[in-house]
Amino acid sequence: MENKINFTKAIIDTLPIPDSGKRDTYHDIKTTGLQLRITSNGVKTFSVFRRIKGGNPERVTLGRYPGMTIEQARKSAAEINLHIIAGKNPADRLREAKREMTLGDLFQEYMERRAAFNRRPDKPKATYRLYLSDWSNRKLSSIRHEEVDRLHKKIGRNNGQVTANIVLKLLHVMFNKAINEWRIWKGENPAHGIAKFPEQSRDRFLQSDELPRFFQAVAQEENETIRDYVLMSLLTGARRSNVLAMRWQDINFERAEWRIEETKNGTPQTVALSPEVIEILQNRKQSDNAIFAFPGTGKSGHLEEPKKGWQRILDRAGIGDLRIHDLRRTLGSWQAKTGASLAIIGKSLNHKNQNTTAIYARLDLDPVRDSVNKATSAMLQAAGIKSKEEKNSQC
C-alpha cells in the first residue's frame, strides 16, 4: 500500500522511523513522482521516481530534508517532470552533469533549469556572453577565487561597478545552485566572499512641477498601447515585467483587483485598482478572446520593452533621467506625501521585508486601496487634470 501524504513540515517531522534495516517511502499528493524516503537511521531524502517513456523506472535523488526544503523539492521535481514530458531522461542528464563540468555546461544547465521561472532570460544570456564566455571551456575546478576577484575589479573599472556586481552575482548564483540545490558539483564557489562594489540607491520620482508636463506628454502619445502601459505602470505601482505581461483573466472588474500569481520576489500580489485604472482597462478590453492587456507582436505575445515610446514621452515632457521603474517609486512617494504608513506602502508595492512581514499579513486591501486612490488623486491634481473639489469628493 502506497503512503500518499501531503508533504508539510509538520507531517514530515512526525513521520515514524522504520525498523532497523528497513526503509519507508512516502509519496507527495501534490507533485507527481516526488517521494520522501526514510531510513532506519532517520535520514530523510527527497527523490523523483518516474517511468521514462520507452525505458525502465528511474529514481533521481534531489537532496536531504531538511537541508532541502519541501518547496525546493517540489520545484526541482516539477523541473524534472517537464524534462520527462519533453522526452528526456533526467537521470541521464544528471549523471552527465556530475562529471567534471565546464562553466559553459553550468550556464546551460542554469538557463534550462531557470527558464520556467526567469521572466527575462535575455539578461543573464547577455551578461554571460559579454563577460564570462571566455571561460566557457574552463573546468569548474580550474576557476579560482582570486581570478573572479580580479575579473570583478576589471569589469568595475572598464564597464561600471553596477555591471561588475551583476556579473559577480550571476557567477555566485550559478555555483551556489550547482552545489547546494542541484548537487551536481562538489567543489567550492569561487565567487563566494568577494565584496560587491557599493551602489547608490536610486531615489528618482516625478515631482509636482513635472507631473503636468508628464501627463500632457503621455496624452499626446499616438501609440495607445504604450500610452496606457505607462499610465498603468504609474497608477498601479506594479513592477514593469508584471504590467507588460498583464492578463485579462487575472483582472476582476467587480472587485477592482488585479491578481499577480508570481512577482519578482517569488510571492503573489493582489493590486488594488483605482477608478482611473479601471476606466483605462475597460476602454482597452475590446475582445473576450484577448489574452494580454498590452498585446505585442513578439514571441511572448505581449508588449516588450517600449524604449522608443518611453523616450518620445520624456522628450515631449522635457524630462531627463527618468526610468519606467521610477514610476513605481513615484506612486510610493505620493502615498507617503498623502500620509500613508510605510506598512501600507510596502503592502501596495509588494515589498518583501522581513521586519514588516508580520504587519503586512494583518492588512487587508481596503487601507491599501484608500492609500492608492488618495495618491492617484493627488498626482492628478498636481498635474492639473483633477480639481481639488473632485479630489475631496472621492475622499
Q: What is the pLDDT of residues 173-209, one digit of tens each?
A: 999 999 988 888 888 999 999 999 987 666 788 888 8
Confidence check: pLDDT of 58 > 80:
no
What pLDDT, on the 0 to 100 scale, is given for residue 357?
Answer: 41
The percentage of residues in the chain with a pLDDT greater than 70, rounded to a whole number, is 86
Mean pLDDT over the full length of the chain: 85
Residue 11 has pLDDT above 90, yes or no: yes
Per residue in 254-278, pLDDT (tens digit) is: 999 999 987 776 678 889 999 999 9
**Does residue 356 carry a pLDDT above 50?**
no
**pLDDT of res. 394:** 52
> Does the pLDDT of residue 359 top 80, yes or no?
no
- Contact call for residues 62 and 75 (beta carbons, < 8 A): no
pLDDT attached to residue 59: 82
More confident residue, 50 or 192: 192
Asked if residue 139 has pLDDT above 80, the reply is: yes
Categorize the per-residue pLDDT at 99 as very low, low, confident or very high, splitting at 50, 70 and 90: low
In Å, what is the CA distance from 338 to each residue of 43, 118, 327, 345, 362? 55, 36, 17, 11, 22
Distance CA 104, CA 26 (A): 37
Work out the average pLDDT over 34-45.
Answer: 92
pLDDT single digits (tens) 291-303: 999 998 888 899 9
Distance from C-alpha of 231 to C-alpha of 214, rounded to nearest angstrom? 10
Which residues have a Cβ under 8 Å from the Cβ of 40 and sit 6 or more positions away?
17, 18, 19, 20, 21, 22, 23
Say if CB 369 and CB 271 are below 8 A apart: no
User: What is the residue whose three cell numbers read 517532470?
Assistant: 81
- pLDDT of 1 reads 42
What pLDDT is attached to residue 26? 94
pLDDT digits (tens, 9 = 90+) for 202-254: 678 888 889 999 999 999 999 999 999 999 999 998 988 899 999 999 999 99
Q: Which of 240, 221, 208 is nearest to 311 (CA)?
A: 221
Q: What average pLDDT score do residues 107-123 get?
A: 72
Q: Provide mean pLDDT across the span 84-90.
A: 71
Q: Provide the pLDDT for residue 117.
A: 53
Confidence of residue 366 (pLDDT cuts 50, 70, 90): confident
pLDDT band at 126 (very low <50, low <70, confident <90, very high): confident
3-class DSSP state for residue 24? strand
Q: What is the pLDDT of residue 325?
A: 87
Nearest to 58 by CA among 48, 69, 67, 72: 48
* pLDDT given for residue 50 in this prediction: 80
pLDDT of residue 88: 72
Provide the percentage of residues in the chain whose pLDDT is more than 90: 44
pLDDT for 266 equals: 67
